Amino acid sequence: MGKPFLVVLWLTSILVVSEGQDETLLSVFQGPTEVTIRLSRDPVSLSEGSADYGHMVHKSPVAIMNPVATSDISVLIKFSNSLTVPFKVAARGEAHSVSGQAMTDGGVVVNMSNFRDVNNGGGVLVTSESTAAIGDYVDVGGGQRWIDVLRDTLKRGLSPRSWTDYLYLTVGGTLSNAGISGQTFRFGPQIQNVYELDVVTGKGEEVTCSPEINSDLFYAVLGGLGQFGIITRARIALGSAPSRVKWLRLLYNDFSVLTSDQERLISMNESVQTNIPNYLEGSLLHNESSLDLSFYPQTDRPRITSLINQNGIVYILELAKYYTNDSQTTVDKEVEELISRLKFVPTFVFEKDVSYEEFLDRVRSDELVLRPQGLWDLPHPWLNIFVPKSRILDFGEGVFNGILLNQNLSAGVVLFYPMSRNKWDDKMSAMIPDEEIFYVVSLLQTSTYDKVEAYQKRNQMVLQFCKDAGIQIKQYLPHNMTRNDWTDHFGVKWKVFQQRKARYDPNHILSPGQGIFTEQ
Ligand code: FAD
């Protein structure tokens, strides 16, 4: 693209602001020089700041801030608070949200992915000096991606213990939600694996917090949907890294048999039993055109397809067993022993042996296949919910065998796996069901633009089904919620959530895209 063309675009973008934005635009650019020199209104940045992975919501910020130090963010927020009408500030990680949570209409987007400079606290600093109080840890910038955290810690033979399925998400973004995956049943969500945070609050104060100091802010921010402060540094717990992984998929034709196997596996007592999976998830195979059997050997695909044809749905139990060079000789025996107690369809067990990084970064290989086909940048009308264990079979019957099969739409990727409430500290802002064991169920659809509404309608049917059947779910990565929905969502914690908002962000500046305290 030629330079003159860019200049014209830039000038146009200055002119194309909606009426309500004029004043904010003027105020923002009349702020302190420390703020204005970090602001950008170039069309490419503005366009990036007005979209996300969901491709269903678009909002128009007046500017993008590219901070190079924590103090830039602090000055911006303090400046906003000093105005009669403060402007909104939305931290943006990688914008892997699906419903505008990292956006703002008429406010400033803070581009956290710019804040990765190690000299200014935005990098990855691994410390392996275990103390009696805490073990190894890594200090990482809030805008840092988990893939970079993995690669840097691996150089020291260390690794975070709790993950998400996809690693091109930011530390600040997942810690604002929970950060869950197949390791959560053992180590809790990512928010349970944090020793300390640096946060810039909604008043612009730079605060270090932990379970010991400023603990109220610490617990507020973890799972706090960006409402109380912007995370600029997190101290994350590390364990020793394995080198390789036995990665297994076992196929079932009965949902109740699979869930009881899953529940047995996550309930194994680590102090008594040493042979426990390191990762456990579950998913569905539906008979549909987008059926992905790439994990399985070519020669086995026909018999898998015929199992699906016989049953309509096949359920997958996915587990991983990590190993090191030292345990190489024993791992096969351990895997054999582990699965000998499971009730999958005989002979339908499939195994891969991959490096630890390859295993954790597995979704990236899907992305690299989908991107060139234009299938990654389509709308994603996702729904993630936590379902209490006592109702998971009712949910499976009503949703997997009912709603998902009876619609003329693809089921998409469907994940489900259990975790334990006792691995989640209730002081954190994240919300989970009020039952000791609960499942995450993720309906991860990719839609063409013309079908988005149909998928959204189907998601509503799932929520309505739960309501009618009295299944007390909680949404994970909640969105499209009314004020009443939010009150219900936070339940007994709503009052504390409101008090914390008044304490740390009294002018309701931060993360307006969540739609909790503002309409947008
Ligand atoms: P963004 O989408 O940019 O931001 C999310 C929210 O956090 C916004 O409200 C934003 O304002 C706020 N925020 C961002 N940075 C900060 C910060 N530094 N401080 C305070 N607030 C901040 N989630 C899981 O838990 N497990 C999974 O396995 C998983 N897999 C995924 C796979 C894919 C392909 C995708 C696209 C998403 C997946 N997610 C998963 C969801 C992911 O956790 C959320 O999208 C989350 O928001 C992180 O994305 P992000 O870092 O891009 O944050």
What's the 71 CA to ligand 1 centre distance in angstroms? 23
Q: What is the pLDDT of residues 468-515, one digit of tens each?
A: 999 999 999 999 899 999 999 999 999 999 999 999 999 999 999 999
Given ligand 1 and candidates 174, 360, 384, 516, which is best to mutate, with the most ligand atoms within 8 Å of its CB? 174
**Range 118-240 classified under CATH 3.30.1330.10:** no
Determine the residue type at 8: V
Please tell me the pTM assigned to this model.
0.95
For tokens 């994603």, the residue is 380
CA distance 225 to 176: 5
Residue nearest to atom 36 of ligand 1 (CA): 96
Q: How confident is the model at residue 407 (pLDDT cuts 50, 70, 90)?
A: confident
Evaluate: CB of 174 within 6 angstroms of ligand 1.
yes
Given ligand 1 and candidates 89, 96, 193, which is best to mutate, with the most ligand atoms within 8 Å of its CB? 96
Evaluate: CB of 419 within 6 angstroms of ligand 1.
no
Given ligand 1 and candidates 166, 318, 486, which is best to mutate, with the most ligand atoms within 8 Å of its CB? 166
Q: What is the pLDDT of residues 282-297, one digit of tens each?
A: 999 988 777 889 999 9
Say which residues have a Cβ less than 8 Å from residue 490's Cβ, sequence separation at least 6.
Answer: 431, 497
> Which atom belonging to ligand 1 lies closest to the Cα atom of 189?
25
- Bridge partners, 443 (sequence order): 383, 414
Asked if the model's pLDDT at residue 17 lies above 70, the reply is no
Comparing 58-62, 108-112, 128-132, 395-399, the range with the smallest average pLDDT is 128-132
What's the 174 CA to ligand 1 centre distance in angstroms? 5
What's the 33 CA to ligand 1 centre distance in angstroms? 31
Q: What is the pLDDT of residues 234-266, one digit of tens each?
A: 999 999 999 999 999 999 999 999 999 999 999
Residue nearest to atom 48 of ligand 1 (CA): 173
Evaluate: CB of 95 within 6 angstroms of ligand 1.
yes
Residue nearest to atom 14 of ligand 1 (CA): 173
What's the 425 CA to ligand 1 centre distance in angstroms? 20
Give residue limits of the domains in the chain.
3-112, 118-240, 243-377, 380-480
Q: How confident is the model at residue 2 (pLDDT cuts 50, 70, 90)?
A: very low
Residue nearest to atom 8 of ligand 1 (CA): 102
Question: 3-state DSSP call for residue 12?
Answer: helix
Q: How confident is the model at residue 15 (pLDDT cuts 50, 70, 90)?
A: very low
CATH number for the domain formed by residue range(s) 3-112: 3.30.43.10
Evaluate: CB of 70 within 6 angstroms of ligand 1.
no
Return the higher-pLDDT residue of 16 and 40.
40
Q: What is the pLDDT of residue 51?
A: 97
The pLDDT mean for the chain works out to: 92
CA distance 76 to 61: 15
Q: What is the pLDDT of residue 26?
A: 73
The mean per-residue pLDDT over the stretch 369-379 comes to: 94
Evaluate: CB of 53 within 6 angstroms of ligand 1.
yes
Q: What is the pLDDT of residue 3?
A: 42
Residues annotated as catalytic are 96, 165, 281
> Which atom belonging to ligand 1 lies closest to the Cα atom of 91?
11
Question: 3-state DSSP call for residue 488?
Answer: helix
Say which residues have a Cβ less than 8 Å from residue 517's Cβ, sequence separation at least 6.
Answer: 227, 501, 508
User: Which H or E run contains 13?
Assistant: helix 3-15
Question: 3-state DSSP call for residue 165?
Answer: coil
Say which residues have a Cβ less than 8 Å from residue 241's Cβ, sequence separation at least 6.
Answer: 153, 154, 157, 158, 159, 356
CA distance 353 to 474: 36
CA distance 324 to 28: 54
Six-digit token string for 335: 């895997």
CATH number for the domain formed by residue range(s) 243-377: 3.40.462.10
What's the 428 CA to ligand 1 centre distance in angstroms? 17
Q: What is the pLDDT of residues 217-229, one digit of tens each?
A: 999 999 999 999 9
CATH topology of domain 380-480: Vanillyl-alcohol Oxidase; Chain A, domain 3 (3.40.462)
Q: What is the pLDDT of residues 296-317, one digit of tens each?
A: 999 999 999 999 999 999 999 9
CA distance 2 to 13: 17
Q: What is the pLDDT of residue 291?
A: 84
Q: What is the pLDDT of residue 135?
A: 84
Q: Same topology for domains 243-377 and 380-480, yes or no?
A: yes
What's the 227 CA to ligand 1 centre distance in angstroms? 14
Evaluate: CB of 97 within 6 angstroms of ligand 1.
yes
Q: What is the pLDDT of residues 446-472, one digit of tens each?
A: 999 999 999 999 999 999 999 999 999
Asked if the model's pLDDT at residue 14 lies above 60, the reply is no
